[in-house]
Structure 1
Amino acid sequence: MPRALLLIAVLAVAACSGNERDISMRDLRSFTGGPDEFSIIPGKELQTPKDFNTLPAPTPGGSNLTDQDPLGDAAVALGGRASARQPGNGVPAADGALIAHAGRNGVPADIRESLAAEDKEFRRRQSRFTKLRLVRVDRYSQAYKRFELNSQAEVAWWRRQGVTTPTAPPAAR
């Protein structure tokens, strides 16, 4: 009996670990003991530049010409521009009409900060008992399940409204 009380006391103290707990809910660590082959991104091939005077100045800790940019490469492959991901580029002129239409009813100036604070509070509430799991689980998908979009239901709703829609992905089995 005293061992059971000791175990309950230890679990209670662990559950009250305070505000410094991890609220990310993602557990993507590999438990195989081997290397994580997806964390290694090989550099691009070295090439001799046409003009050595046009090379950018070295930036210690920054990026260089041989660094891979998987997200930028994906953006280009999908018809976009890799430079759109860089901060400070603003909205392209071609997207001005879209931005104007999306903000026609007004946009709060602090929308990003407000959403970040709300999401942090949501993750804090959802991660209350994540440390008390016997098996490591990625709780992110469980926590955000009710916000998941159902493409089949959306297509059906729009079709009932008389809107012509493209086909949706097949339903998951």
Structure 2
Amino acid sequence: MRVFALVIGMTALAGLTACGGDTQLMNIESGQDTPDEFAILPSKPLSMPPDLALLPQPTLGGTNITDPTPQADAVAALGGNPARLQDQGIAAADQALVAQANRGGTDPNIRATLAEADLRWRSGNRRRPLEALFGTSVYQRAYRPMALDSREEQTRWQRAGAITSTSPPPIVE
């Protein structure tokens, strides 16, 4: 009887604790129902400057000197210069790569173009009536002929003499 009462008590306690929740830490907009542990950033400690004339003038929408700057703090902790975080364009070492990639021009509507081509490809494949009725995705089935078998491709490259030092050992069947 004592065990039964203990089980009932533990169940009631678990039920009551499950009902509570701190909604301040939850990201309601994205539909997340658990606390977002990355939303909490500690602010920098307040300090009094030696001369009040050194304080920057407040600007509307500007930052506060006690606001957290996690990216700059991480760069500084790793020995980098946080002042260089601003976008400085393409590095000199990468300009040749970017020029080669852009040699045929760029399409600002590439996402829409690819989405249309994808829809045409998937629509061209025969759909089953239940998939059409319930609007399910036929993505995996539509692209199955284009899928690579990773083990088969690895074996093909190894037989061709390519060095695949980081690949896993072949499966022995």
TM-score under structure 2 length normalisation: 0.39
Structure number with bigger Rg:
2
Q: Indicate the structure with greater helix content.
A: 2
Task: Determine which structure has greater relative contact order: mean sequence separation of CA pairs < 8 Å that are 6+ residues apart, divided by chain length.
Answer: 1
